[in-house]
Amino acid sequence: MAQRILTGIKPTGQLTLGNYIGVLRDLPKMMDKGECIFFIADLHALTLPIDPEVLRQNSIDLASFYLAAGLDPEKVTLFLQSSVSAHAELNAIMQNYLYMGELSRMTQFKDKSAKMKESAIGLGLFAYPVLMASDIILYDSDVVPVGEDQIQHIELTRDLVNRFNNRYGPVLKEPHYQVRKVGARIMSLSDPTTKMSKSDPKGDIYLKDDMKTVRKKIMSAVTDSGSEVKYDPENKPGISNLLTIYAVLSDISIEEAEKRFVGYRYGDFKKAVADVVVAELEPFQQKYQQIIDNKEYEKALQIGAKKAEAMARPVLNRVKKAVGLLDI
Ligand code: TYM
């Protein structure tokens, strides 16, 4: 059987260049490497308060971004997580095999909940990794391409799989994460020691930003002392982040990128970075707009949900049987 490649993106705030470089840009290349299962993690988006209209709009946007990146809906399975009820059903089973201690050690939970009053932290936020593990297990996934921040969740999924299989026999497939060697953690432009995330308007480049804004944000990105364009994440986090963005979008190595900018001043270097980002995002946005105008996402998501359902159901049934749930 062809290997199964699965990933999801949450339709919370606007998608960033971090999401794009970390995963989205690479997905079309995977169409020939295996069976691709890509989804909109809309149930996960409910783990923090979100306006219903915003969630609807973000979900449409995200589906269109997947397609604009170059995915062929005939070749991949693209769907809304909430359209395939097996995700929630498997979640109800799997929540019994992950424990409070390990869930409370998840960095993403600690980061998100640190800013909240305990009385406002939903159970779904705490149990987030259970649903994510269920997403992965449900399709017998082999490979899960993600950015660096999601590795911990996939390791937890692997622990869950081993724990479950030790108890019930070889029921679940063990997944592996796949992260980019370069670009697995794009940093904020305003504070290059923190990750670029959907909720940081100053430090983010949003995939929907107009080109003037994109240029402005890059030109005012925080740089470092000194004047050399060198890759040194510890001492030059700002320049290193821009070099990473440049190298990935130009499909060259960091070393090659460094060589191109020997003797450059920071300002000229930033201009070159802005040029490659604009060259990438401009056609991407045009495709996105066309997909939105023609509502191409609708058909793709309908077909995708059917295909996903057909793949998920046998796995769910296997799990139900293993734990002793009757099939009458
Ligand atoms: P999400 O929506 O936060 O992010 C989507 C993907 O983008 C990656 N990413 C980044 N990569 C590089 N640099 C950054 N600054 C950056 N920011 C985000 C993320 O690592 C992710 O791969 N829990 C997931 C969604 C999910 C999922 C799944 C993923 C739900 N179920 C099953 C894989 C498998 C999330 O919140 O991603």
Pocket mutation for ligand 1, best pick of 19, 21, 44, 181 (most atoms within 8 Å of C-beta): 19
Digit-coded pLDDT (tens) for 223-236:
988 899 999 999 99
Residues 6+ apart with CB under 8 A from 263: none
Instruction: Spell out the residues 6+ positions from residue 67 whose beta carbon is closer than 8 angstroms to its own.
Output: 73, 78, 287, 291, 296, 297, 300
CA distance linking residue 246 with residue 274, whole number of Å: 9
**Which tokens hold the place of 286?**
């045009």
Percentage above 90 pLDDT, the chain = 95
Distance CA 246, CA 210 (A): 19
CA separation for the pair 189, 205 (Å, rounded):
8
Whether ligand 1 lies within 6 angstroms of the CB of 11 is answered as: no
Predicted confidence at residue 57, as pLDDT, reads 97
Q: Do the Cβ atoms of 60 and 297 come closer than 8 Å? A: yes
Residue 198 CA, ligand 1 centroid: distance in Å: 10
Q: Is the CB of 180 under 6 A from ligand 1?
A: no
Q: How many CA atoms lie within 13 A of 131 on its CB side?
A: 21
Instruction: State residue 197's pLDDT score.
Output: 87
Is the CB of residue 169 less than 8 Å from the CB of residue 322? yes
For the Cβ of 91 lying below 6 angstroms from any atom of ligand 1, the answer is no
Q: Is the pLDDT of residue 201 over 80?
A: no
Predicted confidence band at 96 (pLDDT cuts at 50, 70, 90)?
very high
C-alpha 8 – ligand 1 centre gap (Å): 7
Give pLDDT, residue 283.
Answer: 98
What is the SS3 assignment for 236? strand
Phi, psi angle pair for 144, to nearest 5° = -125, 100
* Residue nearest to ligand 1 atom 33, measured at CA: 7
Contact 319, 93 (CB under 8 A): yes
Mean pLDDT, rounded, of the chain: 97
Residue 268 confidence class, pLDDT cut points 50, 70, 90: very high
143 or 201, which is more confident?
143
- Our answer on whether the CB atom of 132 is closer than 6 Å to any ligand 1 atom is yes
Separation of alpha carbons 34 and 76, rounded Å = 9
Query: Ligand 1 pocket, 24 CB below 6 A?
Result: no
Ligand 1 atom 29: residue of nearest CA? 8
Strand-pairing partners, residue 8, are 39
The C-alpha angle 64, 145, 11, rounded to 5 degrees, equals: 35
Where in the sequence numbering do the catalytic residues fall? 112, 195, 198
Q: What is the Cα gyration radius of the chain?
A: 21
Cα separation, 218 vs 188, in Å, equals 11
Going by alpha carbons, the residue nearest to atom 31 of ligand 1 is: 132
* Residues 6+ away with beta carbon under 8 Å from 132: 8, 41, 44, 153, 157
- Counting every residue written for the chain, the total comes to 328
Ligand 1 neighbour 76 (Cβ under 6 A): no
pLDDT for position 167: 98
The lowest-confidence range among 54-63, 110-119, 273-282 is 110-119
Please tell me the predicted confidence (pLDDT) of residue 200.
Answer: 76
Q: Which of 22-26, 88-92, 110-114, 251-255 has the weakest average pLDDT?
A: 110-114
- State the pLDDT at residue 199: 77
Q: What's the average model confidence in pLDDT over 246-260? A: 98
Q: What is the structure's pLDDT at 194? A: 94
Query: In the prediction, which pLDDT does 146 show?
Result: 98
Report whether pLDDT(208) > 80.
yes
1 confidence band (pLDDT: 50, 70, 90): confident
